[in-house]
Amino acid sequence: MTQKIKFTKMHGAGNDYIYVNTMIYPISNPEELAVRWSAPHTGIGSDGLVLIGSSDSADFSMHIYNADGSEALMCGNASRCIGKYVYEKGLTQKKVVTLETLSGIKELQLTVKRRKVTEVTVDMGMPSVGEIALELEAGGKHYTGTVISMGNPHLVLFVEDLTQTDISKIGPLLEHHPLFPGRTNVEFAQVINDREIRMRVWERGSGITQACGTGACATAVAAIVNGKSGRLVKVTMDGGPLSIRWDQESNHVYMTGEAVNVFEGTIEA
pLDDT at 263: 98
Domains of the chain with CATH codes: 4-124+257-268 (3.10.310.10), 128-251 (3.10.310.10)
Confirm whether 75 is a catalytic residue: yes
pLDDT at 1: 66
Phi, psi at 174, each rounded to 5°: -75, -35
Alpha-carbon distance of 187 to 90, in angstroms, equals 36
Neighbour count for residue 164 (Cβ, 10 Å)? 8
Which one of 212, 220, 223, 224 is the catalytic residue? Answer: 212
Confirm whether 212 is a catalytic residue: yes
Q: What angle do CA 91, 93, 97 make, to 5 degrees?
A: 85
Contact yes or no for 40/207 (Cβ under 8 A) = no
Which one of 5, 75, 120, 269 is the catalytic residue? Answer: 75
pLDDT at 122: 96
Phi, psi at 13, each rounded to 5°: 55, 35
Q: How far is CA 61 from CA 57, 86, 106, in A?
A: 9, 11, 10
For 11-47, the DSSP string reads: EETTEEEEEEETTTS--S-HHHHHHHHH-TTTS---S
pLDDT in tens for each of the 269 residues of the chain? 688 999 999 999 999 999 999 999 999 999 999 999 999 999 999 999 999 999 999 999 999 999 999 999 999 999 999 999 999 999 999 999 999 999 999 999 999 999 999 999 999 999 999 999 999 999 999 999 999 999 999 999 999 999 999 999 999 999 999 999 999 999 999 999 999 999 999 999 999 999 999 999 999 999 999 999 999 999 999 999 999 999 999 999 999 999 999 999 999 98
For residue 217, which of 194, 201, 205 has the smallest C-alpha distance? 201
Contacts for 43 with CB less than 8 Å, ≥ 6 apart: 36, 37
